[in-house]
Structure 1
């Protein structure tokens, strides 16, 4: 699970992902219900190579749900995503996106207490996380909403990611795409999506302790307890 990450910078969006940054600013760290960038096809008939960046809420909120749901739907399990009410519409309709990430945070309990770690690409480049997006129509106030979730897979036995989350819990990790998979993921059919659900090589990631300072202390560990719907 990932409840806290650093979105890619505006420069990284342009240079690594080949998209124009969103018009509005966004926070340096994202938590469930934060607004952060995502990359998707600009239109339904777009072809491979077409990408557009927009701001969306971290945590999927279908049209029928309260916005508070975002605090529980920031991750989607690949094993069940096609059938879960929150995600199945987006999955069936190929609403695939890339979540551009500079680094992400996970808790380790190997010292006996929760210790926050930052995980990033070993080469210093940002990471593209496979995700789903949903569009919520404008409400009575005229405000539409784009929202998204990150996909996760089992990480039991993964050389790096098995060291995170509470003892006894199933180990999970984000579906991290290789750069040469970006366009294929955005344009794939729903029945073909599972071929992207692979563990990212441990040697391509680095992790180090990153204690939190300031008023948000402890929030990451708290968010870990929220379920994936």
Structure 2
């Protein structure tokens, strides 16, 4: 079972506004999200870079969970590109353009699921912040033009090694490498969205184990 293939999105527009400062799109997703499902991600609007006027720093967009690179023939690749390993993100063809261009995004979630194998079989386990606040996960995004001319946006979660993490190393098979998503603090949101590509790795840190709970 792959890392973070399922997560619980924020279903309440008010909670989204209060915690992330964005207005929910009309079609806010209210079911758990799996690879290739549509859900929202938060990016820095293009106008923020092009105008001296006061443009909003963040906007919520609907996109596919799983990055669809511009050269993809169809959207099915999203089923395999939902987690981008930070060690190889700059080299993998699916991710390198979004990474090189610094297309940072935040994925707002209530919780994500990982398999707990300590019983000998995979038990899907819900993981959330201990303080009850939603999570803003660091990701990258891009746009893809379908053969019919439709523009589809998509995003991937960035992941880091968690072999030594006291909480996240409890999940996945004992023989598998342990991985975890990058959970940003609210005061980092705008810095992450605006950071140039060469500063991306400064943000890719493990979240404290005591800040996470199961259930």
Normalised by the shorter chain, which TM-score bucket? over 0.9
Q: Give how far 1:62 is off.
A: 1.0
CA 1:25–1:8 in 2, change beyond 3 Å: closer, same or farther?
Answer: closer
Q: How many residues align?
A: 207
Question: What is the aligned partner in structure 2 of residue 152 from structure 1?
Answer: 159
Q: Distance in 1 between matches of 2:56 and 2:178?
A: 34
TM-score w.r.t. length of structure 2:
0.92
Matched, 1:137 2:140: no
Work out whether residues 130 and 150 of structure 1, in 8 Å CA contact, stay in contact via their aligned partners in 2.
Answer: yes
1:131 match: secondary structure: strand
Which of residues 31, 36, 40 is equivalent to 1:37?
A: 40
Work out whether residues 96 and 130 of structure 1, in 8 Å CA contact, stay in contact via their aligned partners in 2.
Answer: yes
CA 1:79–1:35 in 2, change beyond 3 Å: closer, same or farther?
Answer: same
Which of residues 168, 187, 192 is equivalent to 1:161?
A: 168
Work out whether residues 7 and 100 of structure 1, in 8 Å CA contact, stay in contact via their aligned partners in 2.
Answer: yes
2:84 match: secondary structure: strand
Q: Distance in 2 between matches of 1:49 and 1:110?
A: 46
1:16 match: secondary structure: helix
Matched, 1:107 2:115: yes
TM-score w.r.t. length of structure 1:
0.87
Q: Distance in 2 between matches of 1:203 and 1:24?
A: 34
2:120 match: secondary structure: coil
Q: Give how far 1:49 is off.
A: 6.2
Q: Distance in 1 between matches of 2:24 and 2:183?
A: 21
Work out whether residues 49 and 183 of structure 1, in 8 Å CA contact, stay in contact via their aligned partners in 2.
Answer: no
Greater relative contact order (Cα 8 A, min sep 6): structure 1 or 2? 1
Equivalences for 1:21-60 in 2 at 5 Å? 21-43=24-46, 45=49, 50-60=57-67
Root-mean-square deviation (Å)? 1.5
Residue by residue over 1:164-202, the C-alpha shift from the partner in whole angstroms, topping out at 9 and shown as x without a partner, is: 011210000001111111000000011111111110001
Equivalences for 1:117-132 in 2 at 5 Å? 117-132=125-140
Residue by residue over 1:93-126, the C-alpha shift from the partner in whole angstroms, topping out at 9 and shown as x without a partner, is: 1110000011000001001111111000111110
Matched, 1:202 2:204: no
Q: Distance in 2 between matches of 1:129 and 1:194?
A: 14
Structure 1 runs of 4+ with >4 Å offset: 46-49
2:190 match: secondary structure: helix
